[in-house]
Structure 1
Amino acid sequence: MTERRDGSHGHEPDGEGDPEHQDQAEIDRQWQQIVEGLGPLEPPGPAPEPPTAGRPDLAPYFAETPEWGPRDYTVDDEDEGDFVPPDPPALATGRPAMVLSVVGLIGGPAALLLSALFWPGIPGIVITVFIAAFVAGAVGLFLSLPRDQDRRDPWNDDGAQV
């Protein structure tokens, strides 16, 4: 590849392939060539007739409208059972150690972020407390993981329980 006098690199001579340097007549000639290559834009042959005009044996199927359609379906609103859904459990019924661990794990970094934004002269002991809350929450959640499974045998379980 050689460098041209204008500082650009390329294989084409100046002006070729660039639409800005072609005159409008050349562009119009190329466009006309493209349009002629498309062929006729009308569909071949006469326009299709309705199905009943070409096939009189199909006329009864298209002349009548059905008595009902898919949008005529209605759902019965009658209650057929005595099912009453159970009340959902209260949100605060978790184990206290688990709740404190989650609060420490989420609240520690959140408190650090908020204090960095709104309390620029925060004492070091407060930062230490927030970091300790995060670490204690992570350790508490880690220790609450189940430990009584036999890790060597993956099929050692009681099966699905309802």
Structure 2
Amino acid sequence: MSKKRDDGQGSSRRSRPVRNYRIESDQPGNRRPGGPPARGPRDHTVDDSGLDDFTPPNPGNPLAGAKPGVVLGAALALLGIVALVVVPFLPISAPTWTVPALIGVVLLGLVVLFMQMPRHRSDGGDGAQV
């Protein structure tokens, strides 16, 4: 194959010379013809006057609005599981009924949590809500 193109452009890949599109009037410190100095993204300043009045929201205590049954069930279930994991590593000899009792505590916590679930749905929607 020949490197010469059929359209008469020659073997050069570029048909037109590359132009430098840098516009001198847009550089900081230069003036546009008949206008104020050009401003770029580095010339941006932030108005801090509204930031002085900002106070972050206080989320408060997450357990303050919780039902006591939910807190009790969660505490029983979680503390029972933690005790099941920690007790075997303690340097004391636990009685033989310790593991069945801790399993009972975890199950009791799960039953209490299950009983706190609502009995009926609040609306007849399909569940696709935001």
* Pair in the same fold by TM > 0.5: yes
Of structures 1 and 2, the one with the larger relative CO (CA 8 A, separation 6+) is 2
The Cα shift of 1:86 comes to: 5.2
Distance in 1 (CA, whole Å) between partners of 2:85 and 2:45 is 55
The 5 Å alignment of 1:1-162 reads 51-52=19-20, 61-62=23-24, 65-66=27-28, 67-79=38-50, 87-93=58-64, 94-119=66-91, 121-149=93-121, 154-155=124-125
What letter corresponds to residue 75 of structure 1 in structure 2? Answer: V
User: Could you give the per-residue CA deviations for residues 59-89 of structure 1, whole angstroms, max 9, x where no partner exists?
Assistant: 7x24751422123222211128x77665323
Distance in 1 (CA, whole Å) between partners of 2:62 and 2:26 is 60
For residue 27 of structure 2, give the secondary structure of its aligned residue in structure 1: coil
Any runs of at least 4 consecutive aligned residues in structure 1 with deviations exceeding 6 A, and if so which?
none
The Cα shift of 1:104 comes to: 1.2
Q: How many residues align?
A: 106
Find the counterpart in structure 2 of residue 14 from structure 1.
none
The Cα shift of 1:120 comes to: 6.1
What are the ranges of 5 or more consecutive residues in structure 1 without an aligned counterpart? 1-43, 53-57
Indicate the percent of aligned positions where both proteins have the same amino acid: 28
Given the two structures, how large is their TM-score scaled by the length of structure 1?
0.49
User: Could you give the per-residue CA deviations for residues 103-133 of structure 1, whole angstroms, max 9, x where no partner exists?
Assistant: 1111111101100122463212222221111
CA RMSD of aligned residues (A): 3.7
**1:63–1:92 Cα change, 3 Å:** closer
Distance in 2 (CA, whole Å) between partners of 1:92 and 1:138 is 18
Find the counterpart in structure 1 of residue 35 from structure 2.
none
What letter corresponds to residue 108 of structure 2 in structure 1? Answer: A
Greater C-alpha Rg:
1
For residue 79 of structure 1, give the secondary structure of its aligned residue in structure 2: helix
Deviates more, 1:70-79 or 1:106-115: 70-79
What letter corresponds to residue 95 of structure 1 in structure 2? Answer: K
Given the two structures, how large is their TM-score scaled by the length of structure 2?
0.59
